[in-house]
A and B are shown apart, each in its own frame.
Chain A
């Protein structure tokens, strides 16, 4: 490692340390006035009473603040429930909003400086580490020592990172009040973009995008000389930065709903839920356009593009989940399980999830058109459960938190209903395939090892068979790491795409007779 890389790594780790330390800094003091501004009118009175012990108190961390708040609110709610006063229970989640307004002191007063010292300096440190990589080395496969690395082979470092990421996702989804200080950091950015304060989701989006950009640069270094990888990486970086990060904020400025124009149902599972539809249709003709656009993506873009280019057009060129997996997740791609059993589990998970979300969506729509006569409000419960189990726990916590444990495509492979839908199209009606180069395979296993989707590529390649699999996201890594040039991602005529050649090119003894 060059000195400058060590420096970069050091800077990154210090920035990360400070970033984590921030959670324990600053003060929190909730005033009555703030309370009044932040909660619904009908709750002001109750909360003022219930939170009386807190008001004006100064807390030294968001943890003690949030703990007190939650305790007081829970006490109140439990009491109401015990006395069956259901309509008096407060379901709204005010913890994050109140912690935000209550914050003061060091973090609140130094947002810009701290933003710089943590996120910006951290990204710069990472780049210092990444940019000199492979400098002066010829282009080629850069997998030396992967299996000896503690980070990349489920060693102590890998497990630690996995636990850390998992913890962050748990906080983000279910305890955002504890990470209020992080959200404060990106306030300046949020005000610049959309004029409003940063939510935990804006914080998440910022870090997510930055992770794709910085680790995308790493891909550029690692796969230099490989145009397919370079273009593909540039594409996911572009779509994340523009479609997923900037454009939605601009839409908000234009008084339109926050909308990621490349997110497609059923990955975007709540697209047809009442509240989404209402917010789109309530935003005039531009909102209507967004709604129609979303529907066209599902029924036209997916089948059409998948027919011509395979699943890859979305999963490894456009999608945000794919974007993170292909950049930040690249060091962990070989950790996917290649066994036949894993393939079985995959099919028993991903297709049922597609069925479930389709049913939920259809019920929702039917309910909507029968003016809620069909199921009343009970679809809300389905939405909540799906959102909790699949949208948050699976896609987020397991999907990213488990990168260093189960590989970078756990969600895409086992959970993503959109991947399931596109996969079916790819398997049965597409021009895409991975062509095997005759008899050249030496069964070495590099392709299978580095397939993030856990496809046993070698199984097909060593038999001279093309690889046509629903799950293949067309990342092209199998073709890159193959030492014998056996694999080629291609779009071509459907005829002859799925082959089952019993004997390989090169042996005339048998072909003649068969």
Chain B
């Protein structure tokens, strides 16, 4: 598809312009903060119906598990908003009149805007399963979902979680933290196989089983059964097996939450279509975060990016465009992270779940089976494509540089000591990894020596 011109006069700083942001998630809030940094006169309003204040969606699980309260998940104290003159409206927007530049709210008076930023986020997928409307069946995205999950699991003996991805494993961990046994249904042949290579997936699955997760691979949901009172009593899989349960977590992905703007002048596909400046087809209306879909995706990236980090980058970039000068969205090398129970996962660059010539892969796993490292690279010139780390902490800046400067896998491996981000006194594995690489690829690499430092610096190595 052709990339149209940037629409809207978004870099013109009309004094006192009214900027309205719908959505107080990471993308909307980041955008608002960065606009405020550079434009002290703009009237900035942030609307959300979910919660009055910005909280960290990624921390929802920790509220359920009792690691934190809701208050702990708010990244800014409540006075922050007034002090920075970020006007908060706690309400749902029911419709937008793009012509009049006016928003209808559920409870409060309508609002008008000069610039509108849509940061509407996502909502959980549902696939028309019979019984998906029963009580005790739910997805997990919003704060309200979390409260519902709390109620729904109050007297739960056994639960089922459907969907072998990140939110699925989080829901499983949440339930197990309250001693509720979980059957975890995964459609593919391994956990998160749409993203993880086989070895990583296997490693995570071993760990899940160690946590007594009842993993059901190659298993799909067919229907959800009623107990006669409108509550779930069991699920039935496509193989015909019935698993009794009082709670079903549906974690089969999310989709852009764009019901508000469907069937309006705003052009949407799966998400709200935007150009590289996050401009929609309507001047002065922008979309960022989970709800935005690029007309032309950035090379090597999805057209919809539904992670925290991209939401934050969208917000930063759009704010820059609105206050300084228009810039195109140009993310650096991909990175992401997650945690599967106790195993941390970090990835930098592109690691596909499957690959073929000339792409090659080096995989190392520690004998204890909970630490692993993979580097995927071009088998011909050895240029690094990306790395996965499990049970290891890897330095973002190191891999960001390596990927931007097109280092080879061997350049990376000899310097791996510098890439280590594990806590002090942790066991070091870089020599063992290098040796494994030498054996696998017939090389004779030595770890790069660090320049000598003062005597005392050795104490804490």
- What residues of chain A have their CB less than 8 Å away from a CB belonging to chain B? 138-141, 143-149, 226-228, 231, 308-309, 339-340, 435, 437-440, 442-446, 448-449, 458-459, 462, 476, 479-481, 483-485, 488-491, 503-510, 512-513
- With A437-B395, A507-B331 already in contact, the answer to whether A231 and B344 are too (CB < 8 A) is no
Closest A residue to B336 by beta carbon equals: A440
**Which residues of B have CB within 8 Å of A439?**
309, 312, 335, 396
| 5 shortest interchain CB distances as A-B pairs | A438-B396, A140-B342, A485-B393, A444-B59, A227-B425
- With A143-B66, A484-B337, A507-B317 already in contact, the answer to whether A491 and B59 are too (CB < 8 A) is no
B69 on the interface (CB 8 Å rule)? yes
B127 on the interface (CB 8 Å rule)? no
Q: Can you pick out 5 interface pairs between chain A and chain B where the beta carbons lie within 8 Å of each other? A: A139-B342, A439-B312, A440-B335, A445-B62, A505-B397
CA distance A489 to B400 in the complex (A): 21
| In contact, A507 and B313 (Cβ under 8 angstroms) | yes
| In contact, A446 and B59 (Cβ under 8 angstroms) | yes
| In contact, A438 and B67 (Cβ under 8 angstroms) | no
**Which residues of B have CB within 8 Å of A505?**
332, 396-397, 400
Closest B residue to A147 by beta carbon equals: B66
Closest B residue to A339 by beta carbon equals: B77
**Interface size band for B:** 35 or more
| In contact, A509 and B328 (Cβ under 8 angstroms) | yes
**Which residues of A have CB within 8 Å of B67?**
141, 143-144, 146-147, 446, 449, 481
| In contact, A141 and B342 (Cβ under 8 angstroms) | yes
CA distance A479 to B426 in the complex (A): 13
Closest A residue to B315 by beta carbon equals: A507
Q: How close is A198's CB to chain B, nearest CB, in angstroms?
A: 38
**Which residues of B have CB within 8 Å of A504?**
312-313, 316
- With A147-B69, A227-B425, A509-B329 already in contact, the answer to whether A444 and B58 are too (CB < 8 A) is yes
- With A227-B423, A439-B309 already in contact, the answer to whether A508 and B335 are too (CB < 8 A) is no
B110 on the interface (CB 8 Å rule)? no
| In-complex Cβ contact of B393 among A340, A437, A443, A512 (8 A) | A437
Q: How close is A425's CB to chain B, nearest CB, in angstroms?
A: 16
| In-complex Cβ contact of A513 among B69, B320, B333, B341 (8 A) | B320
**Which residues of B have CB within 8 Å of A440?**
309, 335, 337, 346, 396
| In-complex Cβ contact of A145 among B66, B422, B423 (8 A) | B66
B339 on the interface (CB 8 Å rule)? yes
Closest B residue to A438 by beta carbon equals: B396
CA distance A442 to B308 in the complex (A): 7
| In-complex Cβ contact of A138 among B73, B77, B342, B397 (8 A) | B342
- With A228-B424, A483-B344, A504-B312 already in contact, the answer to whether A444 and B337 are too (CB < 8 A) is no
| In contact, B66 and A144 (Cβ under 8 angstroms) | yes
Q: How close is A477's CB to chain B, nearest CB, in angstroms?
A: 11
Closest A residue to B54 by beta carbon equals: A443
- With A231-B425, A489-B423 already in contact, the answer to whether A510 and B317 are too (CB < 8 A) is yes
CA distance A489 to B177 in the complex (A): 29
**Which residues of A have CB within 8 Å of B75?**
443, 445, 458-459, 462
- With A443-B56, A485-B346 already in contact, the answer to whether A506 and B393 are too (CB < 8 A) is no
**Which residues of B have CB within 8 Å of A437?**
393, 395-397, 421
- With A141-B342, A444-B73 already in contact, the answer to whether A491 and B457 are too (CB < 8 A) is yes
Known: A438-B396, A507-B313. 12 other contacts (CB 8 A): A138-B207, A138-B341, A138-B342, A439-B309, A444-B58, A444-B73, A504-B313, A505-B332, A505-B400, A507-B316, A508-B330, A513-B327
CA distance A508 to B328 in the complex (A): 10
CA distance A442 to B346 in the complex (A): 13
| In contact, A144 and B423 (Cβ under 8 angstroms) | no
B129 on the interface (CB 8 Å rule)? no
B13 on the interface (CB 8 Å rule)? no
CA distance A438 to B419 in the complex (A): 12
**Which residues of B have CB within 8 Å of A458?**
75
Closest B residue to A304 by beta carbon equals: B456
B65 on the interface (CB 8 Å rule)? yes
Q: How close is B322's CB to chain A, nearest CB, in angstroms?
A: 13
| In contact, B58 and A442 (Cβ under 8 angstroms) | yes
**Which residues of B have CB within 8 Å of A140?**
341-342
CA distance A277 to B215 in the complex (A): 69
B270 on the interface (CB 8 Å rule)? no
Q: Mark B292-333, 1 if CB is under 8 A from A, else 0.
A: 000000000000000011001100110010001101111111
**Which residues of B have CB within 8 Å of A227?**
423-427
**Which residues of B have CB within 8 Å of A479?**
423
- With A505-B400, A510-B327 already in contact, the answer to whether A148 and B59 are too (CB < 8 A) is no
Of the candidates A149, A505, A512, A513, the one having the most CB atoms from chain B within 10 angstroms of its own CB is: A505
CA distance A439 to B72 in the complex (A): 21
**Which residues of A have CB within 8 Å of B316?**
503-504, 507, 509-510
CA distance A390 to B344 in the complex (A): 44
CA distance A228 to B327 in the complex (A): 44
Instruction: Tell me the residues in window 321-372 of chain B with beta carbons closer than 8 Å to chain A beta carbons.
Output: 324-325, 327-333, 335, 337, 339, 341-342, 344, 346, 370
Q: How close is A49's CB to chain B, nearest CB, in angstroms?
A: 63
CA distance A503 to B400 in the complex (A): 14
| In-complex Cβ contact of A442 among B56, B370, B425 (8 A) | B56
CA distance A505 to B399 in the complex (A): 11
**Which residues of B have CB within 8 Å of A438?**
335, 395-397, 400
B68 on the interface (CB 8 Å rule)? yes
Closest A residue to B341 by beta carbon equals: A140
B26 on the interface (CB 8 Å rule)? yes
| In contact, B320 and A510 (Cβ under 8 angstroms) | yes
| In contact, A445 and B327 (Cβ under 8 angstroms) | no
**Which residues of A have CB within 8 Å of B177?**
144-145
- With A445-B68, A503-B316 already in contact, the answer to whether A508 and B425 are too (CB < 8 A) is no
Q: Mark B261-297, 1 if CB is under 8 A from A, else 0.
A: 0000000000000000000000000000000000000
CA distance A143 to B346 in the complex (A): 22
CA distance A44 to B319 in the complex (A): 84
